[in-house]
């Protein structure tokens, strides 16, 4: 994953992340998303494994989450060994009332989509600032390097201004865990995310976009430690 997601202490993210860990039950096969919010979930799951003998296996969505899970002591498996997950938990960059989310701030959205769609239940964890009546943050689009130019042209035709995501701490573009580029595509307000998602998916060379329509609930953490569930 890229280093766009800063891991600053956030009471809202912490409340959401830790609450989501309480949804996990003995025997669960858990999809572990990427980012600073779900990092709280992963660490809390590690604590429950150690202190409560919780028996779970996790499937990670990025090398970053893998490192956090290993450090926290969450036993890991792969989709090859465990193709059906009982629950997946992940962050988001923005979400609306219909539980449609834009993800990919950490450039991990392709694996996040595969993992979340492998799960019976998909829970998004977030702070309240990411709630929006209309989705409007740039949509990350993972694209094969070979297809970048065509993808840029066709994304422009769809109304975006695609920007190749740059690596924050070194020269050059972000390279995803899958060896691809990310184009951040500002479409302004997105009144019909489902239609846009279908159009982006048709562009050759596009591996995956960051519009997620498969969340079952969104857990929103508050500064006082309480949570709201959409």
| CA dist 127 → 139, 191, 223 (Å) | 19, 22, 9
Q: How far is Cα of residue 25 from the mean position of the Cα atoms in its chain?
A: 22
Give the strand pairing for 29-32 and 87-90. parallel
Q: Kindly list the strands in the beta sheet with 206-209, ordered across the sheet, starting from the edge strand earlier in the chain.
A: 161-164, 181-186, 139-143, 206-209
- Is residue 112 annotated as a catalytic residue, yes or no? yes
- Is residue 14 a contact point for ligand 5RP (CB under 6 A)? no
User: Is 17 marked as a binding-site residue?
Assistant: no
Asked if 1 and 106 count as a contact pair (C-beta separation under 8 A), the reply is yes
Phi, psi (rounded to 5 degrees) for 220:
-110, 120
Smallest distance, ligand 5RP to C-beta of residue 131, A? 13
Q: Which of 30, 37, 41, 141 binds ligand 5RP (CB under 6 A)?
A: 37
Pairing of strands 94-95, 206-209: unpaired
Within 71-130, which residues bind ligand 5RP (CB under 6 A)?
90-93, 103-109, 112
Q: Tell me if 5 contacts ligand 5RP by CB under 6 A.
A: yes
Instruction: Choose the binding region for ligand 5RP from 30-38, 47-55, 64-72, 75-83 (rule: CB under 6 A).
Output: 30-38
Residue 65 Cβ vs ligand 5RP, minimum distance, rounded to whole Å = 9
The answer to whether 100 and 212 are in contact (CB under 8 A) is yes
Residue 35 engages ligand 5RP in binding (rule: CB under 6 A): yes
Residue 138 CA to its chain's centroid (Å): 14
Q: Which residue among the candidates 112, 142, 195, 217 is catalytic per the annotation?
A: 112
Binding mask 130-159 toward ligand 5RP (x if CB under 6 A, else -) reads: ------------------------------
Catalytic residue positions, numbered: 112
Residues in contact with ligand 5RP by CB under 6 A are 5, 33-37, 90-93, 103-109, 112
Annotated binding-site ranges for substrate: 34-37, 90-93, 103-106, 130
């Amino acid at each position: 994953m890229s280093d766009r997601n800063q891991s600053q202490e956030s009471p809202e993210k912490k409340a959401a992340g830790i609450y989501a860990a309480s949804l996990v039950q003995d025997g669960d096969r858990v999809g572990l998303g990427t980012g600073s919010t779900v990092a709280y979930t992963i660490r809390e799951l590690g604590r429950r494994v150690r202190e409560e003998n919780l028996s779970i296996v996790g499937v990670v969505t990025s090398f970053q989450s893998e490192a956090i899970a290993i450090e926290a002591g969450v036993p890991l498996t792969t989709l090859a060994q465990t193709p059906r997950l009982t629950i997946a938990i992940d962050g988001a960059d923005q979400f609306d009332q219909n539980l449609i989310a834009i993800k990919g701030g950490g450039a991990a959205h392709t694996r996040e989509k595969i993992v979340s769609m492998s799960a019976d239940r998909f829970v998004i964890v977030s702070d309240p600032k990411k709630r929006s009546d209309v989705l409007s943050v740039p949509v990350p689009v993972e694209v094969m390097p070979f297809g970048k130019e065509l993808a840029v042209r066709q994304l422009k035709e769809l109304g975006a201004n695609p920007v190749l995501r740059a690596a924050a701490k070194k020269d050059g573009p972000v390279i995803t865990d899958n060896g691809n580029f990310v184009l951040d595509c500002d479409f302004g307000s997105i009144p019909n995310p489902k239609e846009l998602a279908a159009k982006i998916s048709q562009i050759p060379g596009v591996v995956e976009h960051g519009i997620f329509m498969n969340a079952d609930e969104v857990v929103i953490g508050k500064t006082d430690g309480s949570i709201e569930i959409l």
